[in-house]
Structure 1
Amino acid sequence: MLYISLRQYEYVCAIGRYGSLSSAAQHLNVSQPALSNALTRVEEQLGYPLFARRRGAAMALTPQGRSFIEEAETLLAKATRLENAAESGAGKARLRLGCFVDLAPFMLARSLRLLRAELPDVAVSYRVDNFEGLISGLVDGRIDMALTYGMSMDASFCKQTLFSSSPHALVSSEHLLAKQPQVSLRDLADHPLILSEEGLSAQHVLSLFRQIGESPTVAHRAASLEIQRSLAAHGEGVAISYANPPAKISYDGIPLLSLPVSDSFAAEPVVLARHGTGPTDAQIAVAENALLSFRT
């Protein structure tokens, strides 16, 4: 008899990936009590704790917890492959594309069209996620390749640069910097910042300021790009984002200016990545060649 369900495995793996019940609940769109109950039941069944709980600190995996989650993620990946095979017909080839959440509105639809044109007999699916989710998906095989920024990937990944992306400062039409055609990081250092809630994105932006010896104040950490844009349009600070929608108003209709950041070292490559550096199979090679059309 199976005493731990696949859903409970999924919940525990999410807690391990995101480091807290609140973050995992947000990404899974479930309640924190549901996650807490699932974790308690799994630990009771196993007879040992998976996480060390310390007040005011992230939930740290125990050695047993780390081993459990590694095996659980492998199990979930196999279950996903079985489920997908049942949905699409036994034996049908599949390709799973990942895309970083802020890049998805700009790149995902075109990518799917390119892949389906080049691989008409392959069932193409996709997953939109943050950096950590994409990296873990590539490592455990739930994603075959991903469109993302090159940061945070080590030498175990094969990365092909598609184009270079520079950040933009988003400000209200009445901001002190609004009349400048472009701004430098030093121009922005004295203004409150609106950063992404996504950990690696925020860390990267702050690291840019550290390179010039500045430590700006962070006024907000927004859960999405549109919330960043809205806060900036209402004068809550300067939002810094590599994604630059062409609309000159925020989601709620307030005028918004997008000023290029002039510091050349702030540019970041957008890459097509897969896990592993050796030769790949013919299907992945065709898919990679199709997506390299994003190169500029």
Structure 2
Amino acid sequence: MAQIENIRDLEILAAFAQTHSFTETAYELNLSQPTISLAIKRLEKQLGKPLVERRRFGAGGVQLTEAGLVAVAHVQQVLTELDTLGLAVSAVGQSRTRRIGLPPIISSLLAWESADSRPLSLAGLTGSLSLQTVGSGRLLDQMRQHQVDYGAVAAVEDQLAITGVETRKMITYPFGLAGSQSLISRIGANTSGGIAVNDLAHLPESVRFVTLNHEFIHAQASDALLRQHIPASRIIEVADLDTLKAITAAGIALSFITSAGVDAGEGISFLPFTDAKAPQFNIYLFHDRDRATTPGAEADIQAFTHYASHQLASARF
């Protein structure tokens, strides 16, 4: 049986699976590049097979091997389980806490800031509740592992299918670029007309971009669109929405973001992608059928669905 020396190596492998770059992984985790390389090498030695391969010629850079892909799938499950370890231990001998999943942008649309906020009582929810405020990328992983009862999540897919989880598409927002007034003026963009994907290649090379990391669905949309036209050296990844907005408002970079994450009063202009095939920020309500096994849980799901449907119906576009 393989003996894994430390959890940090697993976290590094999971991060590398998102970036496919030792340099970007080091930047994202605030570590040195040799630290990333050594962690991967330790795992390869412990597991007995190469996990990454360098492609010296042509496109591709550093990629996961077939064994690496298998390892990453298991690592993601392990890390997800560790995320809930404390909650599971603390719940021993108590009635089960129902977990509500709400990513930050969707929480803002629902005017739902914390588990103790006023909307909780307005929604009519009862019992022991735990609010999981994580990005949609992480929340989707938790849903696939059946670790969250109900909530709302964003996905780029037009139809969201997860075994054992019932989903209902509610509203769609575009992805686009947001920037300070000065930066938008400098690149000569027309804020009323949006931006075409092909226009990205014609922006000045001095322009930098900032987006959210793999914990958010923005990373998947960015991989499908932004990274196809912009070199990785010009893209900054951050771990939270507040940091992204601060960088954007300061005029340091254009942010790759959904319009749902931009407020009119923030002094930021938004340029939606006009291409029909550009990724969309689709919001789904969901509940796990296997976890909703008591009358109280079913009543909560109905109350949450009613509240969220009403809020999203009047949310900004």
Structure 2 length-normalised TM: 0.62
Q: Structure 1 residue 129 and structure 2 residue 130: aligned?
A: no
Matched residue SS, 1:165:
strand
Please show how residues 189-208 of structure 1 align to structure 2 within 5 Å: 189=199, 192=204, 195-198=209-212, 199-202=219-222
Pick from 193, 200, 217 the counterpart of residue 183 of structure 1. Answer: 193
Inter-CA distance 228–295: structure 2 relative to 1 (3 Å threshold) = same
User: In the alignment, what sits opposite 1:271?
Assistant: 283
Listed one character per residue, the Cα deviations across residues 157-178 of structure 1 (whole Å, up to 9, x for unaligned) are 4543343434575452582799
- RMSD of the alignment, in Å? 4.7
Please show how residues 101-112 of structure 1 align to structure 2 within 5 Å: 109-110=112-113, 112=115
Q: CA deviation at 1:31?
A: 4.7
Matched residue SS, 2:265:
coil
- State the distance in 2 between where 1:203 and 1:261 align: 17
Listed one character per residue, the Cα deviations across residues 160-211 of structure 1 (whole Å, up to 9, x for unaligned) are 334343457545258279997722436x94655764445434356669xx9x
Q: Structure 1 residue 227 and structure 2 residue 247: aligned?
A: yes
Inter-CA distance 95–10: structure 2 relative to 1 (3 Å threshold) = farther
Pick from 68, 71, 79 the counterpart of residue 71 of structure 2. Answer: 68
- State the distance in 2 between where 1:239 and 1:16 align: 21
Inter-CA distance 204–53: structure 2 relative to 1 (3 Å threshold) = closer
Listed one character per residue, the Cα deviations across residues 236-260 of structure 1 (whole Å, up to 9, x for unaligned) are 77977522123344xxxxxx5x256
Tell me, yes or no, if the aligned pair for 2:258 and 2:281 is still in contact at 8 Å.
no
User: In the alignment, what sits opposite 1:246?
Assistant: 264
Tell me, yes or no, if the aligned pair for 1:97 and 1:144 is still in contact at 8 Å.
yes
Tell me, yes or no, if the aligned pair for 1:160 and 1:273 is still in contact at 8 Å.
yes
- State the distance in 1 between where 2:190 and 2:53 align: 50
- State the distance in 1 between where 2:139 and 2:223 align: 17
Q: Structure 1 residue 160 and structure 2 residue 180: aligned?
A: no
- State the distance in 2 between where 1:44 and 1:170 align: 46
- State the distance in 1 between where 2:299 and 2:53 align: 43
Matched residue SS, 1:185:
coil
Matched residue SS, 2:250:
helix
User: In the alignment, what sits opposite 2:312?
Assistant: 295
Listed one character per residue, the Cα deviations across residues 198-244 of structure 1 (whole Å, up to 9, x for unaligned) are 5434356669xx9xxxx89999534323323322xx7x779775221
Structure 1: state its 5+ residue gaps.
250-255
User: In the alignment, what sits opposite 2:3?
Assistant: 3
User: In the alignment, what sits opposite 1:253?
Assistant: none
Structure 1 length-normalised TM: 0.66
Please show how residues 37-52 of structure 1 align to structure 2 within 5 Å: 37-52=38-53
User: In the alignment, what sits opposite 2:181?
Assistant: 172
Tell me, yes or no, if the aligned pair for 1:182 and 1:261 is still in contact at 8 Å.
no
Q: Which amino acid aligns with 1:62?
A: T
Tell me, yes or no, if the aligned pair for 1:163 and 1:294 is still in contact at 8 Å.
no
Inter-CA distance 3–103: structure 2 relative to 1 (3 Å threshold) = same
Tell me, yes or no, if the aligned pair for 1:104 and 1:128 is still in contact at 8 Å.
no
- State the distance in 2 between where 1:47 and 1:218 align: 31
Tell me, yes or no, if the aligned pair for 2:102 and 2:134 is still in contact at 8 Å.
yes
Percent identical residues? 18
Which of structure 1's runs of 4+ aligned residues deviate more than 6 A?
176-181, 215-219, 236-240
Structure 2: state its 5+ residue gaps.
213-218, 238-243
- State the distance in 2 between where 1:121 and 1:34 align: 45
User: In the alignment, what sits opposite 1:252?
Assistant: none
Q: CA deviation at 1:46?
A: 1.9
Q: CA deviation at 1:85?
A: 1.7
Inter-CA distance 93–220: structure 2 relative to 1 (3 Å threshold) = same
Q: CA deviation at 1:44?
A: 1.3
Please show how residues 26-37 of structure 1 align to structure 2 within 5 Å: 26-37=27-38
Q: CA deviation at 1:142?
A: 4.9
